[in-house]
Amino acid sequence: MKRSTIDLWVGLFVAIGIAAVVFLSLKVANLTPQSADQTYTLYADFDNIGGLKVKAPIKEAGVVVGRVAAIQLDTKTYRARVTLNLEKQYTFSRDASAEILTAGLLGEQYIGLLQGGDPDELKPGEHITLTSSALVLEQLIGKFMTSFTGSNNKSSASGAQ
């Protein structure tokens, strides 16, 4: 086989390989060049984050407005400090609230923001003060069980009278 033919096929091979990698990174991994100057950071402290993970989506009215950048434990208050990376185009008022929600019954957890009515806006680096923790299924069942057995005892006691 002639050398130029071989070169042509190898060139095609490498080109298709590069195209495959580009496809994998753009279409499959959804690489969107999001530099730091397009986002700003807010913090939110939660009593319990449940199964929240870094890179979990942050949604306002169901629309993804940012991602969780980091999760740390505040060693003074022993609450979880979640760093939120929000897109610059979305600003939130000072009394906006954040809660940890679950997509579906057993789906992944995300942060749901709820815009408040305060005209003042949260500036980068500030804290969202109104937070509510993740719903931990075990605790919920535990509460349900204790209240259930409690009411059961009461009803049996009233039945004995």
Partner 1 sequence: MTELLLSPLRRLGHSTINAIWRLGFITRFLLAILRYSGQSLLRFNLTIREIYFAGVMSVIIVVVSGLFVGMVLGLQGYNTLSRFGSADALGALVALSLLRELGPVLAALLFSSRAGSAMTAEIGLMKATEQLDAMSVMAVNPIARVVAPRFWAGVISMPILAAMFNVMGIFGGYLIGVVMIGLDSGTFWSQMQNNVDLHYDVVNGLIKSLCFGIAVTLIAVFEGYDATPTAAGVSAATTRTVVTSALVILAVDFVLTAFMF
* Cα dihedral across residues 137, 138, 140, 144: positive or negative: positive
Question: Which residue stretch of 29-37, 70-78, 79-87, 93-101 sits at the interface with partner 1 (rule: CB under 8 A)?
Answer: 29-37
Cα–Cα distance for residue pair 57/82, rounded to 1 Å = 12
For 4: left if phi > 0, alpha if psi spans -120 to 50, otherwise beta; the answer is alpha
Q: Please report whether residue 140 would count as binding partner 1 according to CB under 8 A.
A: no
Which residue among 41, 45, 50, 57 contacts partner 1 (CB under 8 A)?
Answer: 57
Q: Please report whether residue 73 would count as binding partner 1 according to CB under 8 A.
A: no
Q: Please report whether residue 137 would count as binding partner 1 according to CB under 8 A.
A: no
Determine the straight-line distance between the first and last CA of the chain, rounded to whole angstroms: 102
Minimum distance, C-beta of residue 62 to partner 1, in the bound complex (Å): 13
Q: Please report whether residue 10 would count as binding partner 1 according to CB under 8 A.
A: yes
Three-state DSSP class for residue 124:
coil
Residues 97-116 that bind partner 1 (CB under 8 A): 104
How far is residue 59 from each of residues 11, 68, 120, 138, measured CA to CA in Å? 45, 11, 21, 25
Residues in contact with partner 1 by the rule CB under 8 A: 3, 6-7, 9-10, 12-14, 16-18, 20-21, 23-25, 27-31, 55, 57, 104
